[in-house]
Amino acid sequence: MQIKLGMSFLIVAVLILLVNSALGGIADDQNWQFSALGIVCADILVACLAAWILSRFLTRQIRQLVSATSVISQGDLTRKVETRSNDEIGQLGKSFNAMLASLLNIAYEVRVTSDQIYRSAQELSATAGTMNARTQEIASASQGIARGAETQAAMVTRAGSITREIATAADEIASKAEAAHSTAREAGARAKASADDAVRAKAKIGEIVDRIRQATESVEGFRERALLITKTVDFITQVAQQTHLLALNADIEAAHAGDQGRGFGVIAQEVRKLAEDSRAFAEQIQNLSQQIDTESVEVIGAMKGSTAAAMEGKEVVESATATMNQISGAVLMTLDGVREITELASKQARGAEGLVKAIEEISKIAMANAGGTTEASTATVEQTAAMEAMSGSAKQLVQTSNHLKDLVSIFRVE
Amino acid sequence: MSGGRVLHFAIGTRRFAVPVTGILEIREVPEPTRVPGSPSVVAGLVEIRGRIVTLVDLARVFGVEERTGTELLAVQFAEPLAHFGLLVADSAHNVETDPAAEEGFDEDELPNEGATDGRSASTGENGGEASLEDEPWDADEGGRVLGREIVLSGARPALLLDPAALAEFCTRRVRARFRVAG
């Protein structure tokens, strides 16, 4: 190239010399000044012409190179630059061809790889979507688990408090059962004592009944005698009445007898007075006897009432005795029952205490579980976010790889 | 005369007295047998010692309460009125003799003059004897007064009866009843 350029300048110089010489000859004939100007102009013309031709010759290969690169710039890497010369331009063409081959190879590789990336990205996107869905499911499931664990923890706490109450109640039951035991024992003893008392009372009532019966019989005998007295007194009253009438008649007879009967009349009057006294006393006796009779009847009635009441009392005492014995038996049975209750309540209290401890441990575990589950849930939520981000990245990757594929498809490699 | 002793008794609220000299006997009698158609002043007939005695019902005669006592006593008049008597229904103990009437009492006055019974003041015959049959004694019948007021011991007032007047009164009533000619 340097040679060609040197040679070209040499030829141009020769041509200029030739033109100058030719023109110099003409110039002698003519005006000098004119000839000098003409010579210069001719020189410039020759130089320009020579420069144009030279540049055309020199840039032909470069233009070829430019046309080839413009095609390549459209993506066609299959084209080659034709090089015949061995100069710098030819070397440039060769290097260019080598570069193209290398580019073609790279573009092909890039194309294949981008296809692969695209497919992989699509697969990745699909997988990421599936995983995202799964992760969301896991997240909701783990949230449910977390809630469940919290509820469980609360339940366990409640169970703990309830069990504590049960334990307290069982203690109370045990103490009360012990109190009931002693009370029942006392009640049993008292019932037995009452039953014994009732038996004695029954015997006493029997005695009372017998005595009342005897007394009633005595009073009835008394009443019969009083009735006899009444009858006797009736007879006395009648006698007194007859005596009275006799005295009256004696008085009348004495009156009829006149003076001789006067003494007799006095006697008759005395007799009548005695009869009157007899009648008055008989009346008193009668009244007393009737009072005795009335009172005897009342006493007998009262005694019969007392006997009936005593018999009723006896029955009541008998039933009371039976009831007391029943109570005594029932109390003995109750004692056994209460003893069992006491033992069971004590056992229950101990068991409930153990249960409380166990539940406290369960509560701790459940709380820890709830905490862990909550953490897991949080982690799952984070993971879900990460998965969503990853899914988004995968989708973006798909888009990017697609774009890359599009870009790479510009290059013609076949 | 031995004089003033009287036997007295009560019928209802009123006390009657009879002089003991006018009495044969006082005794218990059974329920008297009523004579059909007889006037109400005749209580009935009883048999005393074999003699039929007409008993005068004083309650009817004097218009006082019916007899109420449980014992029936008969005061039989002395002869010659022994076929008449008074029915006394009371306890025998309420029949007494009393000497209190001795003063101001004279056997001779018995065929009474100067009657003191207020009711004897009304005079004159009643319209017809038949109308008198069952009426209580109210007037001087046949000019004789049945009794007069006296005062017994203990300031007890009593009507002293005249047995003869009573017997006559009763006879007149019976006769009027049966239209028996006097």
pLDDT in the model for residue A21: 80
pLDDT at position B130, please? 40
d(CA A283, nearest CA chain B) in Å: 12
State residue B105's pLDDT score: 47
Q: What is the pLDDT of residue B120?
A: 37
Q: Please indicate if any CB of chain B lies within 8 Å of the CB of A260.
A: no
Taking the C-alpha atoms of residue B88 and residue A47, their distance in angstroms, rounded to an integer, is 220
pLDDT at A166: 84
Residue B63 has pLDDT above 70, yes or no: yes
Reported confidence tier of residue B84, pLDDT bands at 50, 70, 90? very high
In sequence order, what are the residues at sequence separation of 6 or more whose Cβ sits closer than 8 angstroms to the Cβ of residue B5? A251, A255, A265, B19, B20, B21, B97, B98, B99, B101, B102
Partners of B27 on chain A (C-beta within 8 Å) are 245, 249
Q: Which long-range contacts (CB under 8 A, 24 or more apart) does A346-349 make?
A: A346/A170, A346/A174, A348/A166, A348/A170, A348/A173, A348/A174, A349/A167, A349/A170, A349/A171, A349/A173, A349/A174
Domain range summary for chain B, segments of one domain joined by +: 6-178
| pLDDT < 50: residue spans in chain A | none
Residue pLDDT, tens place only, B2-49: 447 888 888 877 888 898 888 999 988 998 998 888 888 888 999 999
* Sign of the four-CA dihedral A292, A298, A300, A306: negative
3-class secondary structure, A407? helix
CB B164 within 8 A of CB B112: no
pLDDT the model gives residue B51:
92
Both structure tokens of A62: 């470069």
First and final CA of chain A: distance in angstroms?
35
3 state SS of A208: helix
pLDDT 10s digits, B141-176: 544 577 788 888 888 888 888 888 888 888 888 888
Whole-model pTM over 0.95: no
CATH class of this structure's domain A131-409: mainly alpha
Return the closest-CA partner of residue A365 out of A161, A152, A166, A144.
A152
CB A106 within 8 A of CB A95: no
B21, B107 contact by CB (below 8 A):
yes
First and final C-alpha spacing in chain B: 33
| Residue A115, C-beta contacts closer than 8 angstroms, at least 6 positions apart | A405
* Interface membership of A279 toward B (CB under 8 Å): yes
Residues of A with CB below 8 A from B1's CB?
258
CB contact under 8 A, B21 and A248: no
Mean pLDDT, residues B103-130: 40
Concatenating the DSSP letter of every residue in B126-155 gives: -S-HHHHTTSPP-S-BTTB-SEEEEE-TTS
DSSP string covering B42-94: EEEEEEETTEEEEEE-HHHHHT-PPP--SSEEEEEEPTTSTTEEEEEES-GGG
**CATH of range B6-178; options 1.20.1070.10, 3.40.50.1220, 2.40.50.180, 3.40.605.10:** 2.40.50.180
> Which residues of chain B does A276 touch, with a Cβ-Cβ cutoff of 8 Å?
93
Report domain extents, chain A: 2-113, 131-409
Strand partners, B45: B33, B54
CB contact under 8 A, B28 and A276: no
Mean of the per-residue pLDDT values for chain B? 73
The answer on pLDDT for B52 being more than 90 is yes
Burial of B89-108, coded b for 16+ CB within 10 Å and e otherwise, reads bbbbbebbbbebbeeebeee
The mean-pLDDT minimum among A108-112, B81-85, B114-118 falls in: B114-118
In whole angstroms, what separates CA A49 from the centre of its chain?
108
The C-alpha atoms of residue A292 and residue A169 are separated, in whole angstroms, by: 74
CB-side neighbour CA atoms (13 Å) of A355: 19
